[in-house]
Amino acid sequence: MTDPLIVRNLVQIKKAAAQVNRAGGTLAANKASAIVAACNELLLGQHQEAFIVPAIQGGAGTSSNMNVNEVIAHLARRNTGLLVHPNDDVNQGQSTNDTYPTAGKMALLELVPALLEAVALLSQTLLAKADEYHDAIRVGRTQLQDAVPTTFGATFHAYSNMFRRDLRRLHVASAALKTVSLGGTAIGTGLNASPFYRQHIVAQVNQQTGLELQQADDLSDAIQNVDVFPEFSGALKALAVNLNKFCNDLRLLGSGPQAGLGELHLPARQAGSSIMPNKINPVIPEAVNQVAFSVIGNDVTVTMAAEAGQLELNAFEPIMLAKLLENERNLSAAIKMLVTKCVRGITVNTELCRSEVEQSAVAATVLAPLLGYKATTQLIKEAMATNNSVRALLLEKQLLPAATVAELFSAAVLTGSSRVTAPAQATGR
């Protein structure tokens, strides 16, 4: 069925239109009152069974708009005995082409605060993890190969910043949804709407909803071009891409516990196998991955529907709005689940991570400025061939003073927060 939020916001528009048309002298006061009373019943959640139109429909939303018009007219007639007409009275000054997309934008805007709250919570939780593990050293990896050391503090901080960017994108993209075509009627010319109605309808809707909508400067553009929807969808897709990357990293870093990386402990949420005892799967990140896949797929649908518009109207707003509303709801729920059931409970296997750093030949990259790239490469190859540590070889060959070696392999130097200058005894060049 048509999304309940779209239906409710169509009702809000009908209520506002009746009030404006009454004030403008184009709708009788008794009919306006009857329409407003009927709308109030619906806004209280009554008669929801009367809205029977599928979410995906032809006609650019006309079926949903007329379903609402007819239910309101029926209630108004039933309550007062007045001959309230669904087109002439309830739909006065309107067209599906301006009411339906406006109601859709209003619905999208209503779901934005919950999504912003969820993303902000994720970013803040990751920032707290960064503080908790600010000095927990680990082997960095590029192309899944050992790279120079880093810390889980830096890792979690980077994730936090990634989602902060998502917050900024969502703020910008959702602000664009506040520009609406209401008052443009069929193709933006305002045909059959009084000048009074066109001037006052958006303000009246705002008074009822507090959404701070703005009437588009160019109503023809606002009706025929729907690029605001792929723009908003793009922000949701970027968030989904980041969630995918983050959850993939969690699953990889938490893999094992014996034959994987095992650097993170993810909270155990359910038995992971019907055949393998004590197997625990990363079910929360896996669920979020699947939500992200759906959001990315829906973005393709929104993109195709937006570019398929022709001339003065895009007929495919129903599928765009259905997919965008689905994305908002699923992302909000998935992110809150990820925070509360996974991220908050993550712990770092600090002893394993430090041991891996100390045994990693790549950690010897810090020697290159002192011994030179070629000599450092030879030293690393020898360490790997002899199953020895670079640190031990440095001391055995007396290439550097023991105090310098100890400083070089400290967490501060290995992660770049401190530097060591070449001692006079360096003999590797």
Q: Which CATH number is 167's domain given?
A: 1.20.200.10
| Mean pLDDT estimate for the chain | 94
User: Which residues in the chain show pLDDT less than 70?
Assistant: 420-429
Count of domains forming the chain? 3
In terms of domains, do 235 and 286 share one?
yes
In terms of domains, do 106 and 146 share one?
yes
In terms of domains, do 67 and 123 share one?
no
In terms of domains, do 246 and 301 share one?
yes
The answer to whether the bond into 257 is cis (omega within 30° of 0) is: yes
Predicted confidence at residue 421, as pLDDT, reads 63
Strands 214-215 and 179-180: parallel
Structural domain boundaries enclosing 375: 360-414
In terms of domains, do 298 and 265 share one?
yes
**Residue 52 forms part of a structural domain:** yes
In terms of domains, do 266 and 383 share one?
no
Predicted confidence at residue 419, as pLDDT, reads 75
Predicted confidence at residue 429, as pLDDT, reads 47
| Set 123, 174, 194, 273: catalytic member | 273
Would the CA dihedral through 384, 387, 391, 392 be positive or negative?
negative
**Residue 288 forms part of a structural domain:** yes
**Residue 318 forms part of a structural domain:** yes
Count the neighbouring beta carbons within 10 Å of the beta carbon of residue 192: 13
Number of alpha carbons in the 13 Å side-chain half-sphere of residue 414: 28
**Residue 50 forms part of a structural domain:** yes
In terms of domains, do 117 and 255 share one?
yes
In terms of domains, do 169 and 272 share one?
yes
Report the CATH number that the domain containing residue 21 is assigned in CATH.
1.10.275.10
266, two tokens: 């993810």
Q: Cα dihedral angle (198, 202, 207, 208), rounded to 10 degrees?
A: 100
Residue 410 annotated among the catalytic residues of the structure: no
**Counting runs of H as helices and runs of E as strands, what totals does the chain give?**
16, 6
**Residue 108 forms part of a structural domain:** yes
In terms of domains, do 227 and 339 share one?
yes
The answer for residues whose C-beta is within 8 angstroms of residue 408's C-beta and 6 or more apart is 366, 367, 370, 400, 414, 420
39, two tokens: 């709308």
In terms of domains, do 86 and 119 share one?
no
